[in-house]
Amino acid sequence: MSTHPSQIAASALVDRLPVTLPRLHEMKRLGDPIVMVTAYDFPSARAAEAAGVDVVLVGDSGAMTVLGYPSTVGVELDEMLMLARAVRRGLRTPLLVGDLPFGSYEVSDEQAVATALRFIKEAGCDAVKLEGGGPTSCARARAIVGAGIPVMGHVGLTPQTATALGGYRAQGRNADAAARIAAEAVALQDAGCFSIVFEAIPSDVAALIMQRIEVPVIGIGAGPSTDGQVLVFHDLLGIREGLGARFVKRYANLQDEMAAGVAAFAGDVRTRRYPAPEHGYGIDSQELAAFAERSRA
């Protein structure tokens, strides 16, 4: 009797242990690529779980992909917590990281720790992520780590401050900018971050910075030298209009399939092809007759 590949994969996942911070560091040491995706709800979390990814980020990109904001800046903390709780209910093995939204950690160390605590206590996240490697971000990271909460850093293109960076564009494309990103990455590492995201950095620049980083680095548009890769769920599955950033590789085109499915349903309803007899429920003829009699009374 043959076994379908999906059955083999499902069987392997049953025995898979939850991903921990020591496991991620061991993967870096062994050169095992780390797989990370974003997720924003129960179905996307279940897809990540079934695929056996290592890390799931409840990214503030959910502001745009599922909540309809024009950028990540407008999303509220309570909205991010709602998304994170839904994702938590769908995960068993990947490490779950919650993205601290803009305005929820910059004011003070106390604000940053309080926000991070909510992600851990209310949403069940294993860690949090914050953007930037300047003095403020590093201070907040150090404070959160000091409170016993793991922190993932993020350098290069930081969407929350994209306006200050000149828009959604690659960073580190001259020597000064590359040196700044390198310094920020090292500073986040020194602040205690267990991992750092490199976004939209020239591949050769990322490769040189990697020589100075001892914690796992997750790349997105930073070339193949990083310890792992991440893509936004809606980008990699094509659940959005447009092509997305240069670094996006689409593995499906679900937006087109969803639109086609809804259009087919609408067509069936308008031509009365749906519902067909097989979509309905029956009733015993005697019960129907009795009901009809009562209806005439």
Report in angstroms the alpha-carbon separations of 186 from 66, 136, 195, 229: 33, 14, 11, 19
Residue 22 corresponds to which tokens in the numbers above?
Answer: 């020591």
User: Is the preceding omega at residue 275 within 30 degrees of 0, hence cis?
Assistant: yes
Active-site residue, 278 included: no
Residue type, 231: L
Cβ–Cβ < 8 Å for 154, 129: yes
- Tokens 């024009």, located at residue: 70
Task: Give the active site residue among 199, 214, 257, 287.
Answer: 199
Q: What is the CA radius of gyration of the chain?
A: 24
Q: Which long-range contacts (CB under 8 A, 24 or more apart) does 242-248 make?
A: 245/168, 245/200, 245/221, 246/221, 247/200, 247/220, 247/221
Residue 4 corresponds to which tokens in the numbers above?
Answer: 């379908």
Cα-to-chain-centroid distance, residue 15: 24
Cβ–Cβ < 8 Å for 213, 196: yes
Catalytic residues: 199
